[in-house]
Every structure is written in C-alpha cells, then in structure tokens.
Amino acid sequence: MAEPEPAQPPPEQIGVVYTPSTDPQLKPSTPFGKKGIKEYIENLPYDFNFVRIQWVDLINNIRYRVVTKAYFAKLLHSSGRTGVSITKCALGLVFLSVADGFSPIGEYLYVLDLSSFRVCGYQPRHAVVMGWFQEKTPLPGRNGRLTYEVDLCPRTILRRVVEKAKYELNLSFLIGVESEFILLKQTNPIEAVNNHGWSNSAALPSGSVEAKVLEDIVDALNIAGIELQMYHAEAAPGQYEVVTGPLGPLQAADALVHTRETIYNVASKHGLRATFAPRVYMDSCGSAAHTHISIHSSTPPSPSISSPNLTSLEASFLAGLLAHLPSLTILTLPLSASYKRMVDGAWSGGTYVCWGTDNREAPIRLCNATSPASRNFEVKCVDGTSNPYLAFAGLIAAGVEDGVKINRALEMRDCSAHGELGKTAAEMGEEERARYGITERLPLNWEEAWEAFRSDAVLGEAFGEAFVTGYLSVNKVRFLR
C-alpha cells in the first residue's frame, strides 16, 4: 500500500500587513480644517518659526514660498479659502522659458491643504504644507459645471483618480516607495562618497559621513511622521536606498516629496550632493523610485482564473496596468536620461512589457505572491525625476479604468523563476515570449514615450485634454533644454 502523501503546510503569511482602514499610520497625521490645525500646532513637540508653502510642478521641480509663523496664523484666521496667489504660468515654467499654451497673465489661488502640514526634521524651525491650485473665481470644468479646480494641478489630478475609484467601484490603494539615490562628494568631476557593493557593510562604516547622513535622514523623517522601514547600500558607487511605508496615494506622494527634500537637505548639511539622476554610471546600476501598489476592496475577493496567486480584482488591475504601461512612461520616466536606466540586464525591470513573481527583470514584479494580506505590485519603471502625483495617478487610472472597470482578462502569463523556462523576457526568443503573451516593449527613448502618451485615449480621458496638452508642452520644452 502506497504511503499517503504528507499534508501540505498552510500558506505562510510573509511581510508586515497594512490595510487602508485599520492602521493608524495610514490616516492623515493632522486634522482637517483651520480649527484642527491650530490645536495640532499648539500640541506639537517641535517649535517652528517658518512655514514652507510648497508645490511640485509638472516637471517635478519642488518649489515653495516661506511665510513666518505669525503670517501663517493670520492666514488661518482669514475668512474664505486659505492660500496665496501664484502666477498661472508657474505650472508652465521650465527654467526661464514658458511652455506653449501658458501665459504670464492671470493668477491661481494656491489653497492650503492643512492635513498635509508637517514639521521639517531636516531644517530646524521650519514646517511645510502642500496645497491645491484653484481658480480665484469658478470656471466651467470638464463636466460643464462651475468649479474652482484646476485641471493642471498634480495633487488635484491624483485626488480625482482616487476618489473616482472609491466612489464608482469602492476601491482603495496603498503605495510605498523605494527611493534610490547617490551621494557625491563633487559633481565635476563626479566623485562618489564611497565605492561599495550591494548591501555591503563597507558602504556605511562607523563614523563616516555617509553613515551619519543616513542616520540623520531617518531621524528627520521620524520627526515628520513618515515611517522609514529600512535603508541600505545599493550597487552603484555612493548609492543608497531608503524604503518608506505604504500610505494612501495622496499621502504617499506627499511623503515621497518630503523624503526627497529630506535626502537633498541632509546631504547638503554634511557637504555632500544627493542625486536621484536615473543613471550616473553607465557601467553600474541606475537609481529608481520603485513603486509598490496594493489594491483593496470591501467586497470579498474571488480567485483569478488566469493566475492562482492573484484575486480576480488584482488580475484585472494588473491587466489594465500592463495594457497602458508604454503610455505611462512619459509620466514615470519623464527625461531622456530615464531611458539610459531602463535597459535589459541592468536590474532595472528591462524593456519588455511583462510581469513576474519576484522577477526583478520585469517592469512589474509581484511581491509576496502567496501572502494575500501583504501582496503588492512593484512597478520598477519609475524613477526619481517623475512627479509622484502624476505617476501614481497614471498607474491607478490605467489599472482601474481599462482593467477593473471592464473586468479585463489577464492574458499574459507569470514570467517567474518557477515558469517552464526560468528566463527573463530579454533572454527568451520571440516564440518563447509569444507563449507568455509578451508582445510589446516599453518605449526605448523619450520620443517614443511622448508619442505613446499623446495617443492613449484611455489616459487622455482620465487626465483630461487640458492636462495632456499642457503636460506634453512642458515636458517637450524640458527635453529640448
């Protein structure tokens, strides 16, 4: 008599579990409204004398105006919308050039989002708050109704996409980011702070300036209320990575902007230059902003027919994301230099549109595949030159509007190490790729990416004609510079 097969152990839960509704770290760190922010400020353990009213423009420049604490208090006591006036061409500026379609005539009211207020741990006595670009008087919007909203405002765009998914399909998302950067002693000629290997202890010797920089970054983010999960050395000279915990999309984008500012400023205080440039060394790895996304619904999940390690919701979201990944790259990889990183065989995610379980040479990697509570998609074709509000909005819109909403089938197979070939997409031949449903490549340069976004009807509808025209105009001026 044959011996019975041993019982299979139950699936092991791997990774820390985060959910949109239960974890206090995922809720806004400050109350909404003028009264709430006043109470919050009074109870802060850190004093401040200055407030940075900050925004991120279409080409990812972080800009701000500084007001005193006393004037900030006057803004809070003012009637109506709390904000400051900013020229309308602010979103069309590229250095000293103004992109086509923008004018020096007219002003927006930059209305403060008081829930985004946080203390700057990297700059004593400073705090920062984000906001929304709004019209001073309401104008007809996309639906013909009068609105204050501005179609070019990156934070407004992300909020619209998130709220639409919640209202129409009861979906919510969590996003966490791995920020890679290089610390330089000097830029001309380029000299890295250290020449080390990936996660090598020699990258952070005790008493070194680089070790102190990383520790100060952690302390500054902690003061700002941003969870830093870990940091470590990456593979290129002077390259490091900080990993921040998942948040709702808008909060995650705000946290990422603050994280980048923290890294820049802490490095500067120690006499170093931090850069998020996509590829500083052509003979080594580039720097990315790997974006981890998980999708959540209150509806009980059903298994996917096409992939045993995904729910039907996750599978349709992934299918929509894959369908529009080439068009999204102008948002996630906005510079010509971005495409020097996105090459095959350089740990960048490669150039083929595909996905794979724990496949770091696929632009979308499925993480914690057998642990539903912590499972997420890592989008690798994102770098630190992208505007996070626009990048996150594009990723969510693609997955929802042309994935979940139409119940798109996931026809592309899992390109994982456990597959029949055990090869990356670049290592496969054309017939092998076809068997996996891998038929398309990402844009190989800025020009291809620009055209792909311009001609994508689904993303055009999600972002609106005014944004598509304005963004492509600004992005083109940036490219020509």
Q: Which residues, 6 or more positions from 355, have their beta carbon under 8 angstroms from its beta carbon? A: 318, 322, 362, 363, 364, 365, 366, 377, 412, 414, 415
Of 80-89, 260-269, 321-330, which range is least confident? 80-89
Q: What is the pLDDT of residues 290-325, one digit of tens each?
A: 999 999 998 887 888 778 789 999 999 999 999 999
Residue 189 shares a structural domain with residue 325: yes
Angle made by CA atoms 257, 258, 262, in degrees to the nearest 5: 120
The reply to whether 191 falls in a domain is: yes
Residue 105 shares a structural domain with residue 217: no
Residue 316 shares a structural domain with residue 384: yes
The reply to whether 166 falls in a domain is: no
The span from the CA of 118 to the CA of 463, in Å, is 29
| Number of independent structural domains in the chain | 2
Residue 295 and residue 321 in contact, taking contact as beta carbons nearer than 8 Å? no
Residue 144 shares a structural domain with residue 180: no
pLDDT greater than 70 at residue 376: yes
The reply to whether 70 falls in a domain is: yes
pTM score over 0.85: yes
Domain termination site, one of 150, 181, 213: 150
Residue 288 shares a structural domain with residue 432: yes
- Return the higher-pLDDT residue of 134 and 7: 134
268-294 burial, b at 16+ Cβ within 10 Å, e below that, comes to: eeeebbbbbbbbbbeebbbbbbbbbbb
Q: What is the pLDDT of residues 192-239, one digit of tens each?
A: 999 988 888 888 889 999 999 999 999 999 999 999 999 999 999 999
Residue 372 shares a structural domain with residue 430: yes
Residue 304 and residue 407 in contact, taking contact as beta carbons nearer than 8 Å? no
Q: What is the pLDDT of residues 438-448, one digit of tens each?
A: 999 999 999 99
Q: Which residue in this structure is represented by tokens 């670009």? A: 133
The pair of structure tokens assigned to 65 is: 């105006």
Residue 250 shares a structural domain with residue 356: yes
pLDDT in the model for residue 29 = 44
Positive or negative CA dihedral for 101, 102, 107, 111?
positive
pLDDT greater than 60 at residue 162: yes
pLDDT in the model for residue 143 = 81
Query: Where in 299-431 does DSSP place strands (E)?
Result: 355-357, 364-367, 376-379
pLDDT in the model for residue 256 = 99
The reply to whether 144 falls in a domain is: yes
The reply to whether 165 falls in a domain is: no
State the alpha helices, DSSP H only, in 224-364: 249-269, 312-332, 338-341
Residue 97 shares a structural domain with residue 234: no
Domain termination site, one of 115, 150, 185: 150
Residue 311 shares a structural domain with residue 274: yes
The reply to whether 339 falls in a domain is: yes
Of 97-106, 326-335, 421-430, which range is least confident? 421-430
Which residue range is the domain that position 275 belongs to? 171-463
Of 33-37, 139-143, 292-296, 334-338, which range is least confident? 33-37
Please state the rounded mean pLDDT for residues 333-352. 95
